[in-house]
Structure 1
Amino acid sequence: RWEAAGYVLAPGNTRKRIRVYGTTRKEALAKLTEKIATSNRGVPAPSAQGSLAAYLTYWLQNVAVHQLRENTHTRYTACVNQYLVPGLGKKKLAKLTAKDIRTWLNQLRITCQCCARGLDTSRPEPRCCAVGTCCAKSLSPLTLAYIHSVLKSALEHAVREEEIPRNVARNVRTGTPRSRRFEPLTADEARQLLTAANGHRLCALFDLALHTGLRKGELLGLCWEDLDLTGGTASIRRTLQRTNSSGLTALPTKTKSSERRIALPTSCLRSLEQHRSRQLQEREAAGTGWKDSGYVFTRPDGAPIEGSTLTRHFNTLLRQARLRRIRFHDLRHSTATLLLEQGVELVVIKELLGHAHIGVTATVYAHVRLRLQRDAIDALGTVLGTLEITKAVDSDGDEPAPCPTLIR
């Protein structure tokens, strides 16, 4: 075996001696030449000696915990422990390649998760591997893209700390997963839902959700001090979510743009006034057992409402209204689509929904219905049809008047 040694650039703008090996003198010299060429381009030699699993643990405990929301950090931790560490954890961080990641993702795409993670053994009635018939339950493209994004985030921080020269996960293309297709509520379905909600103790909440497109956490985190019923406005300052450490607690809004002030329609102001009168009656009935949380929408004893509880109320309301099954978040999609059908500009919808970028409003929430497409096609047909009968415009006499082009 042949050995070649030389000095290359190291983190901190220093130099260090490295050694490479080969079965022939030519192979060892080629490896050293490649290392020196990379160093001459200003790329420092990697200093990481540990495994990918060790670095992911360090990244979760010392970096991600301070940069992510608690629920997001919990999802990242579950992704690392369930997929990244078992699949790539034994690889050296400095020697991880794009080929390793691509091969692992391709294998993960066709692997049954019941078999790989032993989920069938913990079920009361085994129905997959334990009975000898594999269900072939593989991960969805959206889950694979999420796993890939977590790995990219961790390796990106390793590049910033000069542990590795480049983020090899960026060289792997997983493809854009196809978003879930769904149909938002039409205007008739929205009126049908509001009719069924009439008389419900949370009628004002459903009315507000359809008219403003607020998120579930923003609705549950709304306080009376945030409402100006005289001026007809509401200030969105917080979101109510359940976390592992603090339970049901108020957190800052999803993004800086989500902290906003919106106008309230007259119907919402009327329903909020009725809701406040009902809440005062519930407070008198509860007496000393009333929990003064300050939230607009509470339980009968004044305590804040869980998100899962609101989902159950919403599903019951859908059954009563005889509407198709949708998510509560789909009311937000429905609001954006209905506003777009009424000719409201995208920038106004963006400010109402609290999006940071107008592209999110245009691509995700504004679903153009068939009626809007037909109106656009009819408008274009009207314009093209008028070209045949357009009168020639008089010229100054120097040139002949332009003739309209006949379109067949």
Structure 2
Amino acid sequence: MCEYTRKRVRVYGSTRKEALAKLTEKIATSNHGVPTPSAQGSVATFLTYWLETVAIHRLRENTHTRYTACTRLYLIPSLGRRKLAKLTAKDVRTWLDQLRTTCQCCARGLDAARDPNAPEAAGRPRCCAIGKCCGNRLSPLTLTYVHSVLKSALEHAVREEEIPRNVARNVRMGTPRPRRFEPLTTQEARAFLAATHGHRLHALLELALHTGLRKGELLGLRWEDLDLASGTASIRRTLQRTNSSGLTALPTKTQSSERRIALPTPCLRSLEQHRDQQLQERGAAGTGWKDSGYVFTRPDGSAIEGATLTRHFNTLLRRAALRRIRFHDLQHSAATLLLEQGVELVVIKELLGHAHIGVTATVYAHVRLRLQRDAINLLGNALRHPAEPAPRPDGDDEPPLCAASVR
């Protein structure tokens, strides 16, 4: 037995003919199975409902916090008053264009909330308060992120048949340039490892440079995750600070991030020495020892904060007289060095825990182009006639890739 539900729909027009045309269009749309919009509230109302009822159960806590901040700062102030059912692709495109060209200091009133006599305000530009805008605009990456938040929210509205289509998907954003990173060269990597010798976190930093593990994955390693006899490590969690639970262990970001990797021989020796050192620290701490179970801990056994690890990392960079980079650049350094040694892209993808090999190929496209150039030059040398003189390398070309392994 079929059940039918009846829904009253109102249409308006300046003439009877216009109203009849709109009604005919809605009836035809309904006959094709396209849901009739039922949302009567504003965009702000739906975004609040989506964040508090739906997204909070499906997103990681830190991701939900970022989504909430994007909604509060960029979505609701500009699009919040519009009716959800009447939101168009033109509205979204106009909003993004305005967001792209608007100074955030002016839009959010940061100058009004800043005390000009405060010590921390010294040297900062007084945007628009001195009649000159500082031009603090959103980066293309941030614009793409904000656009993706709106797309996710409207996609749920489509699934709940609040709106017939996701108008944010009809607005195309230019592909932002990936964030540039400066990986360590082979010589710089050697200098960095030399500077870490004697440091209590030497095993962690050596493991980061050899395997490309992320900061949270390194800090979340537990001793039961390591099999030093077979030389493997299981990546099952990441250690992060959240607003509700503080420093806590969370599952890996994706299913691909949960993986098993091989440990190089130098890291195995360092981990064994680190285990002996931790046992000595445990004996020295006595009853004050906090048995967290993590491989890398503070001297009292408690977990290490990510910010604390970053401070140690920056100190060691200065000791090695190296340029300042992010801790995450150690992962890029490991992948770049592996590519330069001829390791296949699929192996690096599995080592880094990327969900798709396209992510690995995109991030390290510049390295692949250099390798392609070297491969083409090798082929050219092989096909060169013996009587022809060998081509001289250009002075402006980059030096040849170093084939020495990082030890």
Same fold, judged at TM 0.5 (above): yes
Counterparts in 2 of 1:124-273, with a 5 A limit?
124-125=115-116, 127-273=126-272
| Corresponding residue number in structure 2 for 1:39 | 30
Aligned CA distance change for structure 1 residues 384 and 17 (closer, same or farther; 3 Å): farther
| 1:234 maps to amino acid | A
Shift of 1:367: 4.4
Instruction: State how far apart, in whole Å, the 1-side matches of 2:244 and 2:38 are.
Output: 36
**Residues 1:17 and 2:8 are matched in the alignment:** yes
Instruction: State how far apart, in whole Å, the 1-side matches of 2:365 and 2:212 are.
Output: 12
| Corresponding residue number in structure 2 for 1:312 | 311
| Corresponding residue number in structure 2 for 1:403 | none
Instruction: State how far apart, in whole Å, the 2-side matches of 1:66 and 1:297 are.
Output: 31
Instruction: State how far apart, in whole Å, the 1-side matches of 2:385 and 2:159 are.
Output: 61
Q: Deviations over 1:314-337 (max 9, x none)?
A: 111111111111111111111111
| Corresponding residue number in structure 2 for 1:66 | 57
Shift of 1:124: 3.1
**Residues 1:353 and 2:352 are matched in the alignment:** yes
| 1:250 maps to amino acid | A
Partner-residue secondary structure (3-state), 1:182:
coil
Instruction: State how far apart, in whole Å, the 1-side matches of 2:9 and 2:341 are.
Output: 67
Instruction: State how far apart, in whole Å, the 2-side matches of 1:156 and 1:29 are.
Output: 30
**Residues 1:116 and 2:115 are matched in the alignment:** no
Is the Cα–Cα contact under 8 Å of residues 48 and 94 in structure 1 kept in the other structure? yes
| 2:316 maps to amino acid | L
| Corresponding residue number in structure 2 for 1:400 | none
| 1:98 maps to amino acid | A
**Residues 1:98 and 2:89 are matched in the alignment:** yes
Partner-residue secondary structure (3-state), 2:9:
strand
Unpaired runs of 5+ in structure 1?
1-11, 390-408
Partner-residue secondary structure (3-state), 1:19:
coil
Task: Name the stretch that deviates more: 246-255 or 28-37.
Answer: 28-37
Q: Deviations over 1:6-44 (max 9, x none)?
A: xxxxxx963433222222333323322332332232212
Instruction: State how far apart, in whole Å, the 1-side matches of 2:4 and 2:192 are.
Output: 65
Shift of 1:89: 0.4
Aligned CA distance change for structure 1 residues 382 and 317 (closer, same or farther; 3 Å): same
Partner-residue secondary structure (3-state), 1:104:
helix
**Residues 1:378 and 2:377 are matched in the alignment:** yes
Aligned CA distance change for structure 1 residues 92 and 370 (closer, same or farther; 3 Å): closer
Task: Name the stretch that deviates more: 31-40 or 53-62.
Answer: 31-40
| Corresponding residue number in structure 2 for 1:107 | 98
Instruction: State how far apart, in whole Å, the 1-side matches of 2:73 and 2:316 are.
Output: 37
Instruction: State how far apart, in whole Å, the 2-side matches of 1:186 and 1:218 are.
Output: 23
Q: Deviations over 1:170-198 (max 9, x none)?
A: 00111111112223111111111101111
Instruction: State how far apart, in whole Å, the 2-side matches of 1:383 and 1:322 are.
Output: 41
Is the Cα–Cα contact under 8 Å of residues 289 and 301 in structure 1 kept in the other structure? yes
| 1:30 maps to amino acid | A
**Structure with the higher strand share, 1 or 2:** 1
Instruction: State how far apart, in whole Å, the 2-side matches of 1:136 and 1:350 are.
Output: 39
Unpaired runs of 5+ in structure 2?
389-407
Counterparts in 2 of 1:255-404, with a 5 A limit?
255-365=254-364, 367-368=366-367, 372-382=371-381, 384-385=383-384
Q: Which entry has the higher C-alpha Rg, 1 or 2?
A: 1
Count of residue pairs the alignment pairs up: 378
Partner-residue secondary structure (3-state), 1:166:
coil
Instruction: State how far apart, in whole Å, the 2-side matches of 1:114 and 1:313 are.
Output: 33
Q: What is the root-mean-square deviation in Å for CA atoms of aligned residues?
A: 2.0
| 1:108 maps to amino acid | L
Instruction: State how far apart, in whole Å, the 1-side matches of 2:258 and 2:30 are.
Output: 47
| Corresponding residue number in structure 2 for 1:8 | none
Task: Name the stretch that deviates more: 266-275 or 39-48.
Answer: 39-48
Is the Cα–Cα contact under 8 Å of residues 55 and 93 in structure 1 kept in the other structure? yes
Shift of 1:302: 0.9
Instruction: State how far apart, in whole Å, the 2-side matches of 1:354 and 1:193 are.
Output: 24
Q: Deviations over 1:91-147 (max 9, x none)?
A: 101000001111111111111111111112222336113333221211111111111
**Residues 1:85 and 2:76 are matched in the alignment:** yes
Is the Cα–Cα contact under 8 Å of residues 291 and 302 in structure 1 kept in the other structure? yes
Aligned CA distance change for structure 1 residues 275 and 94 (closer, same or farther; 3 Å): same
Instruction: State how far apart, in whole Å, the 1-side matches of 2:318 and 2:69 are.
Output: 34
Instruction: State how far apart, in whole Å, the 2-side matches of 1:216 and 1:209 are.
Output: 8
Q: Deviations over 1:363-383 (max 9, x none)?
A: 114641775244122123135
| 2:286 maps to amino acid | G
Is the Cα–Cα contact under 8 Å of residues 336 and 366 in structure 1 kept in the other structure? no
Shift of 1:202: 0.5
- Normalised TM-score (structure 2): 0.88
Q: Deviations over 1:137-164 (max 9, x none)?
A: 1111111111100000000000000010
Shift of 1:59: 0.5
Partner-residue secondary structure (3-state), 1:131:
coil
Partner-residue secondary structure (3-state), 1:129:
coil
Shift of 1:286: 1.5
Instruction: State how far apart, in whole Å, the 2-side matches of 1:40 and 1:279 are.
Output: 70
| Corresponding residue number in structure 2 for 1:395 | none
| 2:267 maps to amino acid | C
| 1:353 maps to amino acid | L
Is the Cα–Cα contact under 8 Å of residues 333 and 366 in structure 1 kept in the other structure? no
Is the Cα–Cα contact under 8 Å of residues 337 and 366 in structure 1 kept in the other structure? no
Shift of 1:388: 11
Shift of 1:349: 1.2
Instruction: State how far apart, in whole Å, the 1-side matches of 2:222 and 2:7 are.
Output: 60
Task: Name the stretch that deviates more: 165-174 or 123-132.
Answer: 123-132
